[in-house]
Amino acid sequence: MLDQLPNRPASPSDLRANRVISIPDFHLEGQLTPEQIDFFEVYGFIRFKQFVPRERANELYQALLELTDELVKKGVDQINGVPLIKGKRDDGSPYFGRIPFASLQHPEFAKFLRDPRFQAIIDQLAPGSRLGEDERDGLVVNRFRNEPGAKYKNLGWHTDSLRDLAYFEKPRRYLNVGFSITDSPMKVGGLRVLPCTHNQSIASMLTTKIHFFDMEPDPNELAIETEAGDLTIHDGRIWHRTALAEVTGDASERCVTYLPIMDGPVIKKHEKSPTPVYFHLKKFLGY
Ligand X SMILES: O=C(O)CCC(=O)C(=O)O
- Which residues form the interface with ligand X (CB under 6 A)? 142, 155, 160, 178, 191, 240, 242, 256, 258
Q: How far is the CB of 131 from ligand X (least distance, A)?
A: 16
For Fe ion, give the closer residue by CB, 73 or 284: 284
Q: Which residue is nearest to Fe ion (CB)?
A: 160
Considering CB distances under 5 to 8 angstroms, the limit depending on partner class, which of ligand X, Fe ion, none binds residue 258? ligand X
Q: How far is the CB of 225 from ligand X (least distance, A)?
A: 11
For ligand X, give the closer residue by CB, 175 or 256: 256
Considering CB distances under 5 to 8 angstroms, the limit depending on partner class, which of Fe ion, ligand X, none binds residue 133? none
CB 86 within 8 A of CB 76: no
CB 19 within 8 A of CB 25: no
With contacts defined by CB under 5 A, name the span among 22-30, 152-160, 165-173, 188-196 that binds Fe ion.
Answer: 152-160
Residue 160 touching Fe ion (CB under 5 A): yes
Among positions 34-53, residues that touch Fe ion (CB under 5 A) are none
Residue 221 touching Fe ion (CB under 5 A): no
Q: How far is the CB of 252 from ligand X (least distance, A)?
A: 13
Q: Which residue is nearest to ligand X (CB)?
A: 242
Considering CB distances under 5 to 8 angstroms, the limit depending on partner class, which of ligand X, Fe ion, none binds residue 142? ligand X
Closest CA to 280 of 149, 139, 170, 166: 166
For ligand X, give the closer residue by CB, 242 or 252: 242
For Fe ion, give the closer residue by CB, 160 or 230: 160
Q: How far is the CB of 233 from Fe ion (least distance, A)?
A: 12
For ligand X, give the closer residue by CB, 155 or 262: 155
For Fe ion, give the closer residue by CB, 225 or 235: 235
Considering CB distances under 5 to 8 angstroms, the limit depending on partner class, which of ligand X, Fe ion, none binds residue 256? ligand X
Full 3-state SS string of the chain? CHHHCCCCCCCHHHHHCCCCCCCCCECCCCCCCHHHHHHHHHHCEEEECCCCCHHHHHHHHHHHHHHHHHHHHHCCCEECCEECEEEECCCCCEEEEEECCHHHCCHHHHHHHCCCHHHHHHHHHCCCCEECCCECCCCEEEEECCCCCCCCCCEEEECCCHHHHHCCCCCCCCEEEEEECCCECHHHCEEEECCCHHHCCHHHHHHCCCCCCCCCCCCCCEECCECCCCEEEEECCCCEEEECCCCCHHHHCEEEEEEEEECCCCCECCCCCCCCHHHHHHHHCCC
CA distance 122 to 146: 34
Residue 164 touching Fe ion (CB under 5 A): no
Q: How far is the CB of 158 from Fe ion (least distance, A)?
A: 6
Burial 114-125 (b: 16+ CB within 10 A, else e): eeebbeebbeeb
For ligand X, give the closer residue by CB, 87 or 178: 178
Q: How far is the CB of 142 from ligand X (least distance, A)?
A: 6
Q: Which residues bind Fe ion (CB under 5 A)?
A: 160
